């Protein structure tokens, strides 16, 4: 089926929100969401038990690392799997044909899908961040009572930073969801989309290494090619401000704002590209 004609039907945020709401409800009803959420919460909470294995960093830093580790790992899995699954369920069940036969823009459909997934991942990030903040607060309070001399200058953890770091992870998952939708708009199968989604995740995390490695090479075409690839893929490492949580120094909030702007701009651009590619697709 080719792109529907939109003659006489203006773009509607209402319809977009209906798609988003349905996507959200469908996602939270899936076992995958509940399973990953439980695993992330369970792993984050078990950081207390793993303290015995901690040799290098301070206890609070270890808990923060562990909690954010669980959020990043399970959050990435949830984002990629849920985006691919929710997109392809419409294609495979032929419900996309029914929806797009109605006066609904493909833009509304794609952004609705995106917003639904983004909301699900938002719930996931909010719950895991709250749990982590609670764990850190409880442990820090206990440590303050046991070793007051180590907390002469007050609490070490800046709790606002924990939420900022959680929020930036959410934005990163948003960029990842948009990228997965872009891949899905080309792909024919769910599996291919999931695999490519993970590739994108790895490439976006490690692209800075390629930029560094090839910055010095003698071959100009190779250097330019890698630089171009560095521009094509967003830098996901920039969102990982969680490393600064628990280190004593607070986050630079101007920097966090810049990163937030970077994430939102990428979500908008990749979302538009997903619409462009979906409009050229035959369902």
Partner 1 sequence: MDLRLVRSGAVVAGVLALAGLMLRPLEAPAWRAMRAQQPALKLESIQGALGQGVTVGLLGGFRAIVADLFWISANAAWDQEDLPATQTLIKLVTAIDPRPLFFWINGANMIAYDMPHWRIRAAGGYDAVSAAEQNRFDREQAEVALKLLQEALAQHPEEASLYICKANIQLNRLKDTAAGAESYRMAAAQPNAPYFAGRIYGELLKRMGRKQEAYVWLKQFYLTLPKPGSAQATPWQIETAMADVVLERIHELERELKVPKEQAFKG
Interface residue list for partner 1 (CB under 8 A): 50, 53-57, 61-62, 65-66, 68-73, 182, 186, 201-202, 205-206, 208-209, 212-213, 228, 230-235, 237-238, 240-244, 249, 252, 255, 258-259, 261-262, 265-266, 269-270, 273, 276-277, 280
Which region holds residue 8: left if phi is over 0, alpha if psi is between -120 and 50, else beta? left
Q: How far is the CB of 277 from partner 1 (least distance, A)?
A: 6
| Residue 41 near residue 128 (C-beta atoms within 8 A) | yes
Q: How far is the CB of 162 from partner 1 (least distance, A)?
A: 14
Cα 262 to Cα 19, 33, 74, 203, 268: the distances in Å are: 26, 27, 23, 17, 10
> Is 116 or 263 the residue whose CB approaches partner 1 more closely?
263
> Is 115 or 204 the residue whose CB approaches partner 1 more closely?
204
Q: Which helix (H) or strand (E) holds 78?
A: helix 59-92
Cα 181 from Cα 101, distance rounded (Å): 21
Instruction: Say how many Å lie between the first and final Cα of the chain, rounded.
Output: 5
> Is 15 or 67 the residue whose CB approaches partner 1 more closely?
67
> Is 86 or 242 the residue whose CB approaches partner 1 more closely?
242
> Is 55 or 220 the residue whose CB approaches partner 1 more closely?
55
Q: Which helix (H) or strand (E) holds 223?
A: helix 220-232
> Is 22 or 54 the residue whose CB approaches partner 1 more closely?
54
Q: How far is the CB of 119 from partner 1 (least distance, A)?
A: 23
Cα 38 to Cα 42, 48, 75, 85, 166: the distances in Å are: 6, 17, 12, 19, 17
Sign, Cα dihedral of 95, 80, 228, 242: positive
Cα 161 from Cα 246, distance rounded (Å): 9
- Going by C-alpha positions, the residue among 275, 4, 3, 262 that lies closest to residue 114 is 275
> Is 51 or 98 the residue whose CB approaches partner 1 more closely?
51
| Residue 108 near residue 22 (C-beta atoms within 8 A) | no
Q: How far is the CB of 17 from partner 1 (least distance, A)?
A: 26
Q: How far is the CB of 44 from partner 1 (least distance, A)?
A: 11
Cα 187 from Cα 193, distance rounded (Å): 6
Q: How far is the CB of 31 from partner 1 (least distance, A)?
A: 23
Q: How far is the CB of 120 from partner 1 (least distance, A)?
A: 20
């Amino acid at each position: 089926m080719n792109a529907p004609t939109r003659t006489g039907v203006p773009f509607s945020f209402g319809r977009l929100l209906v798609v988003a709401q349905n996507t959200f409800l469908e996602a939270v009803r899936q076992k995958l969401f509940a399973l990953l959420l439980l695993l992330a919460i369970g792993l984050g909470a078990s950081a207390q038990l793993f303290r015995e294995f901690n040799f290098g960093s301070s206890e609070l830093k270890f808990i923060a690392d562990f909690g954010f580790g669980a959020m990043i790992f399970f959050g990435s899995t949830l984002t990629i799997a849920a985006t691919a699954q929710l997109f392809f369920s419409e294609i495979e069940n032929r419900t996309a044909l029914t929806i797009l036969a109605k006066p609904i823009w493909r833009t509304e459909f794609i952004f609705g899908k995106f917003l639904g997934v983004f909301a699900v991942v938002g719930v996931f990030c909010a719950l895991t961040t709250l749990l982590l903040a609670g764990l850190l607060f409880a442990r820090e309070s206990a440590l303050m009572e046991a070793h007051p001399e180590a907390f002469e200058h007050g609490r070490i953890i800046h709790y606002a930073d924990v939420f900022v770091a959680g929020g930036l992870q959410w934005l990163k998952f948003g960029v990842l969801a948009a990228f997965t939708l872009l891949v899905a708009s080309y792909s024919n199968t769910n599996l291919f989309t999931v695999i490519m989604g993970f590739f994108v995740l790895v490439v976006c995390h490690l692209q800075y290494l390629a930029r560094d490695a090839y910055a010095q090479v003698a071959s100009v075409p190779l250097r330019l090619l890698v630089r171009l690839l560095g521009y094509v893929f967003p830098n996901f490492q920039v969102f990982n401000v969680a490393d600064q949580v628990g280190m004593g120094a607070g986050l630079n909030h101007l920097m966090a704002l810049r990163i937030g702007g970077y994430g939102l701009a990428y979500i908008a651009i990749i979302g538009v590209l997903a619409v462009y590619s979906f409009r050229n697709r035959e369902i």
